Chains A and B, each alone.
Chain A
Amino acid sequence: MIEVKHINKSFPGNHVLKDFDAQFETGKVNLIIGQSGSGKSVLTKCIVGLMGIDTGEILYDGIDFSKMNRKEQISIRKQIGMLFQGSALFDSLTVEENIMFPLKMFTDMSKKEMINRANFCLERVNLEGRNKLFPAECSGGMQKRIAIARAISMNPKYLFCDEPNSGLDPSTSIVVDNLIKEITHEYNMTTIVITHDMNSVIEIGETIVFIYKGESWWKGTKEEIIRTDNPEINDFVYASKFMKNLKGKLSI
């Protein structure tokens, strides 16, 4: 479980996270949703330690990550897999080398074992046989799946996904979303997905935190978010006139 307790993060002239508080459960897909500029990406970067926080605590299974020194944080980071918005695959490496990269850096596996592990991860994301392609030769959806394969290559305890379906068509988005959900349950990981895509919310959201102007505005499940009367959430979930009318007609 990851707990975020009353964290604050400011930049000069901009208080981005205001006393943010949330819990992310193990074995579940935990969503952080909110409008663009609401502080979702800053929150993720703070949780994984890419940015420091001003005040508050970030606990990984009860261990205070925010108070750790760099070396101790690295030991936690080795248990984290992350899927970035733009996939962040290494351009100069092939698909197989990308997946083998963390294994090469941190394990004593032989080359054969690493290739086997890479093949296993590629099969898991339905990309078997694509080992020798370079990221530039892969489609956006494939790149996301390769990034997932790389993220799970070290059997992480925690998985972070920053807008995993940005730039993908709706059907590919669902493939990626379902893959994240399946992997989370299969490996009993604590998964945090940052998104503003309502399809994802309905498809994979098990617990949801709505972030509004840097505050943890609302927490609940996907069933609850559809029925809530909270005006800020309704403006986000039913953003278009069409959706607002639909909600009225169906009297959800």
Chain B
Amino acid sequence: MNYVKNIGKYFLMMRLAFGRPERLKVYYQRTMNEIENIGLNSFGIVAILSVFMGAVISLQTASNMDSPFLPKYTIGYITRSSTILEFSPTIISLILAGKVGSNIASEIGTMRVTEQIDALEIMGVNSRSFLILPKIVAAVFFFPFLIIFSMALSLIGGYVAVTAAGLASHEEYIYGIRAFFIMSDIYYALTKTVCFAFIIVSVSSFFGYYTKGGALDVGKSSTQAVVWSSICILLTNFVLTQLILLQ
């Protein structure tokens, strides 16, 4: 019963979050700040993860290629496919759910327990819109850039690992990552990314906004935000794959 109540609260919160901004200029400035906080500050972790993720995918593919009839470019092809279709949009989004989601939940949760949200409401500011909308706009706008960046670095990581280990040549790997490429894979990945960005911010904001109690509860909200964002990402991933890729 509590789950149903929370789902209702979530949608009510989102309805108010998309309310008309009191002052566009202030919201614009906040959105720019959030692009920096949520997006630009995540480049480092995305870069490290992507390089090693690409390297591991390519090495594992190479190690599983037992048949001599399989061409070496398969390593590049599989690395590209799994990176674009799954690893970059989904795994990086799960990592961002941890980094960005916990950050959002703890920021908003702290504002709740220190009465800063009440202060906004008393002033006549729509606190849900003021706090959540710029974060959603920033994430939905910027996460696709992060994921494209991740895809590129992942392929580079795979290249370095494979060529350094002598498992495939430069030409074979490059041929592989270009083979049978279809643009719709990118659209599919970016569609997923946009959905995941929305989920990460809105679910984390929900847990932060409805924090009750003190510092300990802010920590709990932060954990719940990460757990539920991740679950929602996985469910959405399944649904979107069914809807887009298998049509």
Contacts and interface: CB of A to CB of B under 8 A. Distances in A.
A227 B158 CA distance: 85
Nearest to A108: B23
A104 B30 CA distance: 13
A105 interface: yes
Contacts of A88: 114-116, 118-119
A241 to B, nearest CB: 33
A86 B115 contact: yes
Interface in A78-131: 78, 80, 82, 84-86, 88-91, 101-102, 104-106
A105 B118 contact: no
Interface in B91-122: 114-116, 118-119, 121-122
A204 to B, nearest CB: 21
Contacts of A102: 123
B188 to A, nearest CB: 37
A50 interface: yes
Interface in B4-26: 22-23, 26
Interface string A23-49: 000000000000000000000010010
B125 A82 contact: no
Contacts of B68: none
Categorize the interface residue count of chain A: 20 to 34
A177 B125 CA distance: 28
B75 to A, nearest CB: 47
A74 interface: yes
B160 to A, nearest CB: 40
Contacts of B166: none
Contacts of B122: 48, 50, 77, 80, 82, 160
A88 B123 CA distance: 12
Nearest to B125: A105
Given A104-B23, A105-B23, A105-B26, A84 B115 contact: yes
B124 A84 contact: no
Contacts of B23: 104-106
Nearest to A73: B124
Interface in B111-152: 114-116, 118-119, 121-125
A83 B176 CA distance: 65
Given A77-B124, A78-B123, A84 B118 contact: yes
A105 B115 contact: no
Nearest to B25: A104
B119 A74 contact: no
A11 to B, nearest CB: 12
A77 B125 CA distance: 9
Nearest to B21: A105
B125 A50 contact: no
Contact of A105 (B116, B121, B123): B123
Nearest to B22: A105
Contact of A86 (B26, B114, B121, B125): B114
A67 B125 CA distance: 20
A39 B26 CA distance: 37
A90 B122 CA distance: 14
Nearest to A162: B115
Contacts of B121: 50, 77
Given A50-B121, A78-B124, A105-B125, A90 B26 contact: no
Which of A77, A84, A91, A105: most chain B CB closer than 10 A? A105
Nearest first, the 10 A-B pairs at minimum CB distance are A88-B115, A88-B119, A77-B124, A74-B124, A78-B124, A84-B115, A82-B122, A102-B123, A88-B116, A105-B22
5 contacts: A77-B122, A88-B116, A91-B114, A105-B124, A106-B22
